[in-house]
C-alpha cells in the first residue's frame, strides 16, 4: 500500500525576486514552459501556444470577472476593519473575511470607505455574514479596491484594474483572477479562431481561499473552500462535439479545470444515486451542470474531461500545485518547477505560463 501524500511533497524554495510584481508589458509577452506528454520541458514564448494547439481542439476559459472586493473602514467603536468579500449571496448580502483587533459580533455596524453602512449578521465558520445598505456589486464597484494577492507588494492602481482581469471577463463574482487567462488578448484569440480552434466558457467565481495554504500534514485531512461554478449547455455541447471529432479539451487555468471536473464528478454521483435514469458517463458525454464545489484534486485523481491545460506557476504547498501534480505526475511537476526556477521564469499571478499535456500514465 502506498504511503498517504503529505504536504512536504509539494514544497519548493522560490527566490523572492522571481515573484512577478507587475504584468508583462503586453499580455502575450510572457514566457511559456511547455511540458510534453513525456514530461520534457521546452522553453518558449507565449504566442508559441498557437503552434501547440491543433485545429479541432477546444479551449475552455473561465469568464468570471474580478470584483473590487476589498474595503477599509471602522466599527462604531472606532476600531479599524478590513473587509474582503468572499462571496455575494444576494443583492445586498455577502460572506466576507473581516480583519479587526476584536472580532465583530452579530449586530455590529461597520462604516466602510466612508460611504457604505454594513451590519454583521453572524458567522459561517471563518466568514462573516454582512448586510449592505444597497446593491453589493454596485457599492463595491464604486468604493472597493481590486484585491491583489498577498504576495504582490504594491497597492492596486489603474493598471491593475485593467490587467488583473481577463479580456473576456463578463460574470462578476471572483475575488481573484483566473490568472492563466491574463496572457490572452483579442489578437491571439482571433488567431485561434482562424486556425479552427474552438472556444467555450465556464464560470467559476474564484474565492480568496485559493491563496490559503494547506495547513494539515496529511492531504486527506484538508477541507477545501467552496466555490460556485457553472458549466453551461453551450460548453457541454462544444466539449461533446470536439470529442466526437477527435479534438482535445484544453482548459485555460486551474479554475476551468475545477469547473469541468466538478461537473463530471456531480454527473457520476448522480448516475450512482439514480441508476434508473441512464445518466451517461462524463468521459463520453458531459452534461451541463452548476453548483458549489469543494473538489480537491491530488495525485491519483481520475481526470474525466481535460486533455491539456494552460496554467501559471503556483504557490508552494498550494492546492493548485497539487492539481498540477495530479495531471502530469508528482515527479514531473517537481522537475518542471526546478527547471523554471533555474531558467528564471516569473511566478504566480502576473508571472509566466505553462502548457501541460496530459501524462496518461497518471
Spans of the chain below 50 pLDDT: 1
Q: What angle do CA 272, 278, 279 make, to 5 degrees?
A: 65
Contacting residues for 118 by C-beta, under 8 A, at least 6 apart: 83, 109, 110, 111, 112, 130, 131, 132, 133
**Cβ 312 vs Cβ 353: under 8 Å:** yes
**Kindly report the CA angle at 339 between 334 and 344, in degrees rounded to 5?**
125
Q: What is the pLDDT of residues 30-79, one digit of tens each?
A: 999 999 999 999 999 999 999 999 999 999 999 999 999 999 999 988 99
pLDDT tens readout for residues 75-110: 988 999 999 999 999 999 999 999 999 999 999 999
CB 201 within 8 A of CB 168: yes
Per-residue burial over 203-239, b if 16 or more Cβ lie within 10 Å, else e, is bbbbbbbbbeebeeeebeebebbbbbbbbbeebbebb
Q: What is the pLDDT of residue 1?
A: 44
Q: Which of 196, 195, 168 is nearest to 182 (CA)?
A: 168
pTM beyond cutoff 0.85: yes
pLDDT value of position 360: 62
Amino acid at each position: 500500500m502506498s504511503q498517504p501524500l503529505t504536504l512536504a511533497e509539494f514544497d519548493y524554495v522560490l527566490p523572492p525576486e522571481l515573484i512577478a510584481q507587475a504584468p508583462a508589458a503586453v499580455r502575450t509577452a510572457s514566457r511559456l514552459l511547455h511540458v510534453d506528454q513525456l514530461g520534457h520541458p521546452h522553453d518558449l514564448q507565449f504566442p508559441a501556444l498557437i503552434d501547440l494547439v491543433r485545429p479541432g481542439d477546444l479551449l475552455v476559459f473561465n469568464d468570471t470577472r474580478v470584483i473590487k472586493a476589498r474595503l477599509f473602514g471602522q466599527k462604531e467603536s472606532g476600531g479599524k476593519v478590513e473587509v474582503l468579500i468572499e462571496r455575494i449571496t444576494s443583492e445586498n448580502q455577502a460572506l466576507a473575511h473581516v480583519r479587526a483587533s476584536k472580532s465583530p459580533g452579530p449586530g455590529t455596524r461597520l462604516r466602510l470607505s466612508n460611504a457604505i453602512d454594513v451590519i454583521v449578521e453572524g458567522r459561517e465558520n471563518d466568514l462573516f455574514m454582512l448586510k449592505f445598505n444597497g446593491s453589493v456589486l454596485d457599492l463595491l464597484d464604486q468604493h472597493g479596491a481590486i484585491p491583489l494577492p498577498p504576495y504582490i507588494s504594491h497597492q492596486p492602481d489603474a493598471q491593475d484594474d485593467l490587467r488583473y482581469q481577463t479580456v473576456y471577463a463578463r460574470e462578476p463574482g471572483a475575488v481573484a483572477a483566473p490568472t492563466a487567462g491574463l496572457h490572452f488578448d483579442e489578437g491571439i484569440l482571433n488567431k485561434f479562431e482562424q486556425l479552427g480552434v474552438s472556444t467555450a466558457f465556464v464560470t467559476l467565481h474564484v474565492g480568496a481561499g485559493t491563496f490559503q495554504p494547506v495547513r494539515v500534514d496529511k492531504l486527506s485531512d484538508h477541507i477545501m473552500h467552496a466555490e460556485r461554478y457553472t458549466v453551461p449547455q453551450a460548453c457541454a455541447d462544444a466539449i461533446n462535439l470536439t470529442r466526437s471529432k477527435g479534438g482535445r479539451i484544453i482548459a485555460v487555468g486551474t479554475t476551468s479545470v475545477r469547473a469541468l471536473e466538478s461537473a463530471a464528478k456531480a454527473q457520476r454521483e448522480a448516475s450512482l444515486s439514480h441508476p434508473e435514469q441512464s445518466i451517461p458517463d462524463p468521459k463520453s458525454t458531459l452534461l451541463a451542470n452548476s453548483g458549489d464545489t469543494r473538489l480537491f484534486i491530488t495525485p491519483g485523481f481520475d481526470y474525466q474531461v481535460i486533455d491539456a491545460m494552460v496554467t501559471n506557476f503556483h504557490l508552494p504547498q498550494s492546492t493548485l500545485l497539487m492539481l498540477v501534480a495530479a495531471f502530469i505526475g508528482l515527479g514531473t511537476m517537481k522537475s518542471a518547477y526546478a527547471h523554471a526556477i533555474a531558467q528564471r521564469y516569473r511566478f504566480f499571478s502576473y508571472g509566466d505560463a505553462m502548457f501541460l499535456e496530459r501524462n496518461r500514465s497518471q
